[in-house]
Amino acid sequence: MIRLENVSKEYSPDSPALINANVDIEKGEFVFLVGQSGSGKSTFIRLLNREEKPTEGKVYVAGKDIVGLSSWKVPFLRRNIGCIFQDYRLLPKRTVSENVAFALEVIGRPRHVIEQQVPAILDLVGLSEKSHRMPDELSGGEQQRVSIARAFVNRPLILLADEPTGNLDPSTAVGIMRLLDRINRTGTTVVMATHDRGIVDTMRRRVIELADGKIIRDQKGGEYR
């Protein structure tokens, strides 16, 4: 599903963000990216949805080289990749259901599809009762659930999560991880950057550890360390 071949990324010559990374991620895998701040986790994620291009090497998503993808094709790549972030990135002036519907409206999905899929996904993330609330009326955990609903409503092949539990208390974080696990069980590949030792050690999934831009560990059923 995802392959990085000799991928390096330099923002400036003296500070490489990623050095010669080689990774293969199968369809339906759940992968944790761990490492200290500045180790290259976010760059790894940004390379997968073509927010960044590597300085060297090739990145394949669903069998296609996305480095040479022309800019007008990038949106079509992103329709297959959902993204969630530590800061939720919800639109403050739209309700919960409008935030989720927005992701379908901007890719031109017909109204009847939107009216069918939005309540279904809100039900999946447990927010059916709060569909008309504004984001600032929700807790952090609920806002992250909305963000997950928005990322998953289009049923993407891959879900990228950059520190999704970073702003949440441990018990709320567990709820979010259960949700991501449930999504992963539908066959969606999940790549999640995290600092949360408890979560990594509990879930025992594949762990890719980065340090100073290098992959120093790639372990199935791994721990945080």
* Residues forming the site for another protein (CB under 8 A): 49, 71-72, 75-80, 83, 89, 91, 102-103, 105-111, 114, 150-151, 154
Q: Between 91 and 216, name the residue whose CB sits nearer to another protein.
A: 91
Q: Quote the least distance from Cβ 75 to another protein, whole Å.
A: 4
Containing 213, the helix (H) or strand (E) segment is none
Q: Quote the least distance from Cβ 60 to another protein, whole Å.
A: 18
Q: Quote the least distance from Cβ 218 to another protein, whole Å.
A: 27
Q: Quote the least distance from Cβ 192 to another protein, whole Å.
A: 16
Q: Between 128 and 154, name the residue whose CB sits nearer to another protein.
A: 154
Q: Between 115 and 137, name the residue whose CB sits nearer to another protein.
A: 115
**CB of 68 within 8 A of CB of 54?**
no
Q: Quote the least distance from Cβ 77 to another protein, whole Å.
A: 8
Match 């806002």 to its residue by tokens. 143
Q: Between 8 and 80, name the residue whose CB sits nearer to another protein.
A: 80
DSSP state of 63: T
What distance in Å separates the CA atoms of residue 7 and residue 25, rounded to the nearest whole number?
15
Match 């009326």 to its residue by tokens. 137
Q: Which are the contacts of 131, defined by CB distance < 8 A and separation ≥ 6? A: 95, 96, 97, 118, 119, 122
DSSP output for 147-201: HHHHHHTT--SEEEEESTTTTS-HHHHHHHHHHHHHHHHTT-EEEEE---HHHHH
Q: Quote the least distance from Cβ 19 to another protein, whole Å.
A: 26
Q: Between 65 and 87, name the residue whose CB sits nearer to another protein.
A: 87
Q: Which are the contacts of 149, defined by CB distance < 8 A and separation ≥ 6? A: 100, 121, 122, 124, 125, 127
Q: Between 18 and 153, name the residue whose CB sits nearer to another protein.
A: 153
- Pairing type for strands 2-12 and 56-61 reads antiparallel
